[in-house]
Structure 1
Amino acid sequence: MRDFLVVGGGVIGMMTTLQLADAGHRVTLVERGECGKEASWAGGGIVSPLYPWRYSMPISQLSRWSEGFYPELSLRLLEETGIDPEYRQKGLLYLRVDDEGRALDWAREVGKPLERVGADFLYAKEPQAAPGFASGLWMPTLGSIRNPRLAQALRARLSAMSRVELREGVAVERLVIERGRVSGVASREERFNAECVIVCGGAWAGQLLETAGVSVPVRPVKGQMILFKAPLGLVERVVLMDGRYVIPRNDGRILAGSTLEDTGYDKSLTAEARESLHDSALRIIPALSDCSVERHWAGLRPGSPDGIPFIGAVPSIDGLHINAGHYRNGLVLAPASTRLLVDQLLGRTPIVDSEPYRLSV
């Protein structure tokens, strides 16, 4: 029997598995498809909430703890797997921020570098940004990561670890509960036993917990994105305007996103969303009108009340834990939220107070 069983192979599940294995534990990770191919693959890879001053303290605490984690993780994974997650720290330019005063007050309060910059600075940083702006906000510490590469690297690292059993293509149908304690999970074909089960199923976490009579308000929220094939250097850093953004990659490609759609588990693509994303991208970077759209895709975010994830033990069922409900900030919060849960699992002093993330049933 394994020490831990993790259900869900996104970034949350893989980072949890990595930390437990690093601590010397035997872990089975079960994923219904291929690890890292759902929301972790579909997002943009910005490692900060889009407008961090608009979020509550529980999200801000996890975000601030996570901020410096990705450079070290990227270097580790590159060394161990040869796959470069392409962490870039080139800052973020905000255009047309309605609550600029609130943003600057927040930055002073938390000690975050954020400043109002003039047109000369703005266009020196991004010459192709939409013309006509007299000022903007500049956050120099913001980074982004190429999330599909991050997922590939995490999967490769876990596959090479002797303490990890990675099982993909296994659709878990129910939790196995015996005398008030979880003893494993079951698919249609087989059963997996473990001393402790951790549900990291993203938008599907609520469905699985319902099999144990536990109701968790996590729902799917669709997001569509497009990818431009652009010349190298057209855009060098993340640019955000009116809630939409463009994100450059090391090979010149530029992501534009994203939509927010309450359509259940439907991941179908729509022409309306593609057109809306295309128009938003061109309003931010007009030169993208000369670039072709290479891809268009959708993913399902795990929506939760106020975007605050559920992290910790599931009441009334011994050995069962959850880490889900990160909404738009799964990648942003993953380092801190997984560390917080692993601290609880291993009896360590938690990095932040765990109470705001506790599941009440």
Structure 2
Amino acid sequence: MPTDVGKSVAIVGGGAIGLLSALELARQGLQVTLLERGDTGRESSWAGGGIVSPLYPWRYSKAVTALAHWSQDFYPQLGQRLLGETGIDPEVFETGLYWLDLDDEAEALAWAEREGRPLTSVPMAQVHSAVPPLGEGFGRAIHMAGVANVRNPRLTRALREALVRMPNVSVQEHCEVRGFVRREGRVQGVETARGDVLADRVVLAAGAWSGDLLAGLGLSLPVEPVKGQMILFKCAEDFLPAMVLAKGRYAIPRRDGHILVGSTLEHAGFDKTPTAEALESLKASAFELLPALRDAELVGHWAGLRPGSPEGIPFIGPVPGLEGLWLNCGHYRNGLVLAPASCRLLADLMLGREPIIDPAPYAPPGRAV
């Protein structure tokens, strides 16, 4: 059982993790204040592709796949509930995913057999039949049916709308958190540009910026920004029936014909500037995967900052030695994938409920100094 069981919570960060954490806690009757230095949902949550699966799930630890499996099963009902409550459709779009010419295909299939996941080897002729615009030159494929993507900007809009309709929630945008209020040996709120915001508990869900904020308390959190760049094409609605991935790059169809292609992995600090080099690299990958994109309209190119962490395992739980302070951050490339399970686990721990999965792998003690 948690020792700090107060009814008010301040959540630092308005991305998918912060928004969904707020919703989970507010639905349990807590008084929630969500603080975001810009507009909600406009950082990593907005910039990503929204595949509801790790790109290579067999390459991750059980800690990541446990969160991913729970979230994958939960996403369809989350999308339907948000649509019903807000009128905004997060567009959880089940397309399946093809991986092409994997070096570790045998490991992937062995993982799927162990985990009971629907991943199978398929002949290339079958892939070309299922995905007509796929380029030539690929020799092998595996396929996982049922994999969905979520339209992440609409997901965060729906989450925000659900929150602002709740009487026990305050969403404060353009309100930068600069530090923490410490009184009587515990964290009792945050310092912002508008003054102190007091709360019984504080949840840090500030993505790539979480480590910098904790440094102000003399703590070292191994979360750092990892830049990713994406491009967007506009095609016919039925152009791409399934997601495809090869050589570390993927193409994701939206229901309205937009095709996302990504992404880069760059260690460039907090610089989010899109670059000409990345644009050319992403276009080359796009045209190799789907040659017809050469004739499609390129409608977007942007960059975001993922919250990189060791092995991509997020930090979820109370901070040792700082009563009142909790973490839900460090999801690296899988924030949208892991968000439902991460936020449910956080709520379970904060409310003293039986956790949905073993919380030990995500606990800050021993992982944050």
Q: Whole-Å Cα distance in 2 between the matches of residues 329 and 238 of structure 1?
A: 17
* 2:223 corresponds to: 218
Deviation (angstroms), 1:134: 4.4
SS at structure 1 position matched to 2:148: coil
* 1:6 corresponds to: 11
Q: Whole-Å Cα distance in 1 between the matches of residues 184 and 220 of structure 2?
A: 19
Contact between 1:158 and 1:164, CA under 8 Å: does it hold in 2?
yes
Deviation (angstroms), 1:220: 0.4
Aligned residue identity for 1:92? L
* 1:244 corresponds to: 249
SS at structure 1 position matched to 2:200: strand
1:349 aligned onto 2:359 = no
Q: Whole-Å Cα distance in 2 between the matches of residues 80 and 132 of structure 1?
A: 46
* 2:173 corresponds to: 168
Out of 297, 318, 323, the position equivalent to 1:318 is 323
Out of 88, 99, 106, the position equivalent to 1:83 is 88
Q: Whole-Å Cα distance in 2 between the matches of residues 333 and 55 of structure 1?
A: 13
Deviations 1:160-188 (A, max 9, x none): 11111110000010011113201100113
Aligned residue identity for 1:74? G
* 1:113 corresponds to: 118
Deviation (angstroms), 1:119: 2.2
1:148 aligned onto 2:153 = yes
Aligned residue identity for 1:174? G
* 1:24 corresponds to: 29
Aligned residue identity for 1:168? E
Contact between 2:204 and 2:328, CA under 8 Å: does it hold in 1?
yes
Give the length in aligned residue pairs: 361
TM-score of the aligned structures, taking structure 1 as reference length: 0.98
1:55 aligned onto 2:83 = no
Out of 79, 101, 126, the position equivalent to 2:131 is 126
SS at structure 1 position matched to 2:191: strand
Out of 99, 103, 110, the position equivalent to 1:98 is 103
Deviation (angstroms), 1:64: 1.0
1:67 aligned onto 2:67 = no
Deviations 1:301-325 (A, max 9, x none): 0001111111100010101000110
Q: Whole-Å Cα distance in 2 between the matches of residues 50 and 188 of structure 1?
A: 38
* 1:235 corresponds to: 240
Q: Whole-Å Cα distance in 2 between the matches of residues 32 and 245 of structure 1?
A: 31
Deviation (angstroms), 1:98: 1.0
Deviation (angstroms), 1:133: 3.5
Q: Where do 5+ consecutive residues of structure 1 fail to align? A: none
* 2:274 corresponds to: 269
Aligned residue identity for 1:154? L
Aligned residue identity for 1:209? L
Q: Where do 5+ consecutive residues of structure 2 fail to align? A: 1-5
* 1:282 corresponds to: 287
Q: Whole-Å Cα distance in 1 between the matches of residues 139 and 40 of structure 2?
A: 45
Contact between 2:101 and 2:139, CA under 8 Å: does it hold in 1?
no
Deviation (angstroms), 1:224: 0.4
Out of 341, 352, 360, the position equivalent to 1:336 is 341
SS at structure 1 position matched to 2:197: strand
Q: Whole-Å Cα distance in 1 between the matches of residues 279 and 138 of structure 2?
A: 26
Q: Whole-Å Cα distance in 1 between the matches of residues 195 and 139 of structure 2?
A: 62
Deviation (angstroms), 1:131: 1.7
Bigger CA drift: 250-259 or 228-237? 228-237
TM-score of the aligned structures, taking structure 2 as reference length: 0.96
Coordinate RMSD, CA, aligned: 1.1
